[in-house]
Amino acid sequence: MNKIKPSLAKGTRDFGPDEMEIREYVMNIFKDVFNLYGFRSIQTPSIENTEVLTGNYGEEGDKLIFRILNSGDFLKNTSEKDLNDQNNLKSKISSKALRYDLTVPLARYVSMNQDKISIPFKRYQIQPVWRADRPQKGRFREFYQCDVDYIGTNSKLCEAEIIDLVYTLFDKLKITDIDFKLNNRKILQGIAETLNFPERFNEICIMIDKIDKIGFDKFEKELNDKKFELSSIKKLIKILKFKGSNTEKINFIEDIIKNSNTGIEGIKEIREIDELNENYILDFSLARGLSYYTSSIFEVKSNKESIGSLCGGGRYENLTEKFGVKNMPGIGISFGMERIFELLDCNDNIQNVINDNKVLLSYLDVKFIPKCLEIANKLRVNNISVDLVTDNFKLKKQLKYANKNNIPYVLIVGEDEINTNYFTLKNMKNGEQEKKSIDDIISKMKSINKNE
């Protein structure tokens, strides 16, 4: 048998027990906050029909969809002519694909289940997605997304609630100094109309979306290379760089795009949001490259780390139309879980919080195992996490096991403890030991506030 060197596919990762404890703890915080705001959970399959996914993400996005070859002889329905036509070949050899995001599967789900759900429909979803992108810091080919969406409503209360939800969530994660940036695609469309390139609107949005990565100098060069008029380029960059308060920005852009009905409609929508929630930064350089956004768009970034967007989203009007369902507007935000986990990796408090309520039961002799099992059962009934070393290790090795597995307390069971019904509880963080009854130990462990 040929030996294979174990390796991971590029852009994917394994997660060990310590990492999974953190990830699950954080995901539970997400779920708790989403439930606080009235969202309900759904799940969709990892695999979707290719036709469901394509055509929603723009030309660049569609290139990043992971297609799955048809099972069996996937070339059986192809001809020599197909080999020279890449698009035709792809459609014949691959009818399934891994989901690219959670929004399009949501639109498909709503279209299939509209008679079973109540409108407006509020859902959250935490599942992995796949993109054939170039792996880099904070960007992977397999990663978790976490979305909340409203379906079937045009109310600007949704934007106001999403802003609040974002700040509530990051406050609970103790991620501070973030900016919630807001824009409106209708304002961008008004700019495109005013500067005389309305037919190139989607193209310019994709280019604006890359400014954070390439900077304004390269952005200007790209516009020149793509033959945009020099006067339009200068005016566009002036608009995108404009600084001031939200009110100053609204007045500034209103004067520029006053002859665009679409642009004025976008300004009106921003003002409606402003009356409900002012806790955002209006940013005209925010475009969100995905072509399905039609109105409000938003993005959240950390000011402490150059890690990119932590979450982003917007309003979409026509996502279910391709499935034959009209008049089903939606709005949602997607959290970049991997980038958030990366930020939390620097937070030493997270690991301590997760393990605060955990005990290792340590026995000094195998004859005490039955008593340990009895104690373990009593602790677990009281929702206290208990680990028990299965092998007959010396006490020193059991304590070492506790340290290696980040278990903060060791409950020692020996002859004296059983005779007196007072058991030794050792704090592995500071080395302190105390004798307590099992009931007192339970009270102590239950008093630990896991949110501190």
> Do both 274 and 391 map to the same domain?
no
> Do both 339 and 431 map to the same domain?
no
pLDDT band at 451 (very low <50, low <70, confident <90, very high): very low
Which residue would you say has higher pLDDT here, 35 or 18? 35
Cβ neighbours around 128 below 10 Å, total: 15
Assigned domain for 6 exists: no
pLDDT band at 356 (very low <50, low <70, confident <90, very high): low
What pLDDT is attached to residue 442?
93
CB 165 within 8 A of CB 33: yes
CATH number at residue 284: 3.30.930.10
d(CA 52, CA 65): 12
Read off the amino acid at residue 263: G
Which residue would you say has higher pLDDT here, 350 or 323? 323
Domain of 270 in residue numbering reads as 17-344
CB 360 within 8 A of CB 388: yes
> Do both 65 and 190 map to the same domain?
yes
pLDDT band at 80 (very low <50, low <70, confident <90, very high): low
Q: What is the mean pLDDT of the chain?
A: 89
> Do both 256 and 401 map to the same domain?
no
**Which residue's structure tokens are 């072509």?**
291
Please report, rounded to a whole number, the percentage of residues in the chain having pLDDT higher than 90. 60
CATH number at residue 423: 3.40.50.800
Total-model pTM: 0.82
> Do both 102 and 218 map to the same domain?
yes
> Do both 314 and 402 map to the same domain?
no
Assigned domain for 7 exists: no
Which residue would you say has higher pLDDT here, 155 or 351? 155
Please report, rounded to a whole number, the percentage of residues in the chain having pLDDT higher than 70. 92
pLDDT band at 348 (very low <50, low <70, confident <90, very high): low
What pLDDT is attached to residue 22?
85
Q: Is 108 exposed, middle or buried (0-12, 13-18, 19+ CB in 10 A)?
A: buried
Q: What is the pLDDT of residues 433-450, one digit of tens each?
A: 999 999 999 998 888 754
Distance from chain centroid for Cα 70: 30
**Which residue's structure tokens are 């980040």?**
406
Boundary residue ending a domain (311, 344, 377): 344
Stretch 115-130: mean pLDDT, rounded?
94
Stretch 61-80: mean pLDDT, rounded?
79
Residue 352 has pLDDT above 70, yes or no: no
Q: What is the pLDDT of residues 361-383, one digit of tens each?
A: 998 988 999 999 999 999 999 98
For the chain, the 3-state helix, strand and coil shares in percent, each to the nearest 5, are 45, 20, 35
d(CA 449, CA 329): 42
Which residue would you say has higher pLDDT here, 57 or 126? 126
CB 359 within 8 A of CB 387: yes
pLDDT band at 97 (very low <50, low <70, confident <90, very high): very high
Q: What is the pLDDT of residues 394-437, one digit of tens each?
A: 889 999 999 988 899 999 999 999 999 999 999 998 999 999 99
> Do both 182 and 309 map to the same domain?
yes
Structural domain count of the chain:
2
> Do both 260 and 289 map to the same domain?
yes
Assigned domain for 92 exists: yes
Q: Which among 25-34, 385-394, 398-407 has the top mean pLDDT? A: 25-34
> Do both 379 and 404 map to the same domain?
yes
Q: What is the pLDDT of residues 183-205, one digit of tens each?
A: 999 999 999 999 999 899 888 99
What pLDDT is attached to residue 389?
82
> Do both 362 and 263 map to the same domain?
no
Q: Which of 71-75, 215-219, 220-224 has the lowest mean pLDDT?
A: 71-75
DSSP state of 87: H
> Do both 420 and 331 map to the same domain?
no
> Do both 322 and 432 map to the same domain?
no
d(CA 55, CA 410): 57
What pLDDT is attached to residue 452?
43
d(CA 100, CA 62): 9
What pLDDT is attached to residue 349?
57
